[in-house]
Chain A
Amino acid sequence: MNDLLGQMVGWLPMLGRPQVLLQLALVAVAVVVSRLVGRRCGPGGRSRWLELAATGVVGVLGWGLLTIARQPTALAVLLITLVAGLQVSELVLHRAERWLPEDQIQPLRHLLIRPFLLAGLLWTLIEQLDTRAELALIPLGR
């Protein structure tokens, strides 16, 4: 288990690379801008649409700028897709409130959609950073 944790934590210093920081900064800007847009429009379905649109616009613009500057973009695309995925799930859940009781929406949100998106993110990051075949050979429970 220590080996597995070691493999996961061992990649953190890569976050210090300027080209990775640029991508993280783009994700942060996308999140902040979409939040500001969402707040300005108040609660409701329209603000969720605008949040999603803002994430998309900032994401595409940032991706274009990074590509023009010949900088890597795959990590930013992955994280912005996750953020957009969360926003889409909130939109869908908001619609579902019309025909699903509140006590069923919460488990759907917390037990299905978010864990699924997070697991997808983790899986893709492992694919990006490590090798599944190699992880499978780490002895567990030592």
Chain B
Amino acid sequence: MNPALQAMNGALRVLLLTLPLSLLSGCVLAPEELRGTAYLAISVEGDQPLTKAILQEEVLQAQAIVAAFRQLHPHVAIETNLLRESAFIEEVRRRQAAGLGPDLMLVAGSTAHALVEADLARSLELPQTTRRQVDPDSLARLEIPPRGLAGLPILRRPQLACFNRTRLAASPTSTDDLLREARGGLRVGLAVESRSLFWSTGPLGADRAIIAAAAGRPLAAGEREGLQRWLAWLSAANFNQQVFIEPDPEALVQGLLERRLDWIPCNSGNLSRLRGTLGASLGVSDLPGGPYGPPTPITRLRVLAFGTDSTARQRNVAEALAVFALNPWIQSTLTSDNQDMLPTNRFVPPSALHTPVLKAMQRSVRQADASDAIARLLPAGDPRDRELTRLVTAVAFGEITATEATGAVVRALAPRP
């Protein structure tokens, strides 16, 4: 027989075998028992080359949730897949074009919104009992009017100050102290990525200007001055030989791990990795305030979004896993075991949040309430956010002055029609 025909015969046999098998697999199960395989795609932030340590950092909580869920439902399998946050939407779109999209996606809040807008995830309507359990600020960040949600918030990763205790007893409490310590020899790391740097806008009085510009409102004279003051602070920081300007937050974490840096703004998600290397020398605190107000850190929200390709059974598994991830017991275990996140369930007992690190995270989250507006107005990956990063980089490296950059920042942040 013709070899092409033979090959096609083989392919046909495989197809004819897989079709009835995959149909049959749905017919022999007890209806009440949760079974099946759900596909979970987890986003990894940053553009750095992926290492095992970074991947583990991203999947740590997801693995713990899945392991506990599988103890409860042993006939369920969860296949996980890691995708970069920056390419997440394109990757999911490509998979859905083949009908192979994930059932569940653990992503940043802004990505969950973008997925729903692109019809790559379905919006949720939570029952009132579940809604009451969830932290209202996290829900507000995911709201799609009138009553929908872009996803279910599972954990919060606040922004903190991480430092090497062997070089510094306590983190500076103000931005002025931070630069003073740097003049005294403390090696400070700052990342030019706008979201990593936004915490410093509050202490210098520039947060309102950025929010107003991003919302398309005209700036008051005081707001414009605040924005210029912040840019001038960045420019002054660069003239300090002990302030190291890095491209992104991951470079800062690497600097602290390799003891090239002594103080950095970090995300709570990095703490497990930093503890693993620095041990007891790792100091964690809330970020410094300043003469014009408290810090304005951005809390990273990790959200479970639901795919649109799922079969009824995959959807059941995905929804059961999401509800399980919100349960106070698993949230409290995750929080106290790793101390690198805050729960989104309001009914996690306060005793589970009683360590100094978790208290610093709670303070950071309260401070972040002021900057939630910026996270909503300027989602990560928005072209305006990239333009802000570019301008901040230019100021930090002295390419343009703070005065020149002020107008450019306002123009760059204006909402696009």
A interface vs B, CB < 8 Å? 10-11, 13-25, 27-28, 31-32, 34-35, 38, 43, 48, 51, 71-75, 78, 83, 86-87, 89-90, 109, 114, 128-131, 133-134, 137
User: Could you list 26 examples of A-B contacts with CB < 8 Å?
Assistant: A10-B79, A11-B39, A13-B37, A13-B77, A18-B311, A19-B99, A20-B98, A20-B100, A25-B19, A28-B12, A35-B9, A43-B2, A72-B96, A73-B97, A74-B94, A75-B99, A75-B100, A83-B8, A86-B4, A86-B8, A90-B4, A114-B7, A128-B94, A133-B50, A134-B50, A137-B55
Q: How large is the interface on B (under 10, 10 to 19, 20 to 34, 35 or more residues)?
A: 35 or more
List A contacts of B77 (CB < 8 A): 10, 13
The reply to whether B2 and A90 form a contact with Cβ atoms under 8 Å apart is yes
Of the candidates B82, B94, B95, B311, which one forms a contact with A134 in the assembled complex, judged by CB atoms under 8 Å apart? B82
A17-B309, A48-B4 known; A24-B83 Cβ under 8 A = no
B46 at the interface (CB under 8 A from A): no
A10-B37, A21-B22 known; A137-B52 Cβ under 8 A = yes
The A-contacting residues of B in range 15-55, CB under 8 angstroms, are 15-16, 18-19, 22-23, 25-26, 36-37, 39, 50-52, 55
Complex CA distance for A50 and B105, rounded to whole angstroms: 45
Query: When A and B form their complex, what is the total count of cross-chain residue pairs whose Cβ atoms lie within 8 Å?
Result: 114
B323 at the interface (CB under 8 A from A): no
The reply to whether B8 and A129 form a contact with Cβ atoms under 8 Å apart is no
B5 at the interface (CB under 8 A from A): yes
Complex CA distance for A137 and B81, rounded to whole angstroms: 13
The A-contacting residues of B in range 70-106, CB under 8 angstroms, are 77, 79, 81-83, 94-100
Of the candidates B3, B9, B11, B36, which one forms a contact with A13 in the assembled complex, judged by CB atoms under 8 Å apart? B36
The reply to whether B11 and A31 form a contact with Cβ atoms under 8 Å apart is yes
Q: Give 11 A-B pairs besides A72-B97, A74-B98, A90-B4 with Cβ atoms closer than 8 angstroms.
A: A13-B36, A14-B39, A16-B23, A16-B25, A17-B309, A31-B11, A43-B2, A75-B98, A75-B99, A83-B8, A87-B4
In this complex, which of B5, B22, B98, B314 has the most chain A Cβ atoms within 10 angstroms of its Cβ?
A: B98
Q: Which residue of B lies closest to A22 (CB)?
A: B99
List B contacts of A114 (CB < 8 A): 7
B interface vs A, CB < 8 Å? 2-5, 7-9, 11-12, 15-16, 18-19, 22-23, 25-26, 36-37, 39, 50-52, 55, 77, 79, 81-83, 94-100, 309-311, 314
Complex CA distance for A71 and B308, rounded to whole angstroms: 12
The reply to whether B8 and A27 form a contact with Cβ atoms under 8 Å apart is no
List B contacts of A14 (CB < 8 A): 39, 99-100
List B contacts of A131 (CB < 8 A): 81-83
A31-B12, A35-B8 known; A15-B18 Cβ under 8 A = yes
Q: Which residue of A lies closest to B100 (CB)?
A: A14
Min CB distance A5 to B, Å, is 13
Q: Which residue of A lies closest to B101 (CB)?
A: A72
A13-B22, A16-B23, A32-B12 known; A51-B4 Cβ under 8 A = yes
The reply to whether A27 and B100 form a contact with Cβ atoms under 8 Å apart is no
Complex CA distance for A117 and B285, rounded to whole angstroms: 56
Min CB distance B306 to A, Å, is 15
Min CB distance A107 to B, Å, is 13
Complex CA distance for A23 and B18, rounded to whole angstroms: 13
A20-B100, A75-B99, A78-B98 known; A130-B81 Cβ under 8 A = yes
In this complex, which of B9, B23, B96, B100 has the most chain A Cβ atoms within 10 angstroms of its Cβ?
A: B100
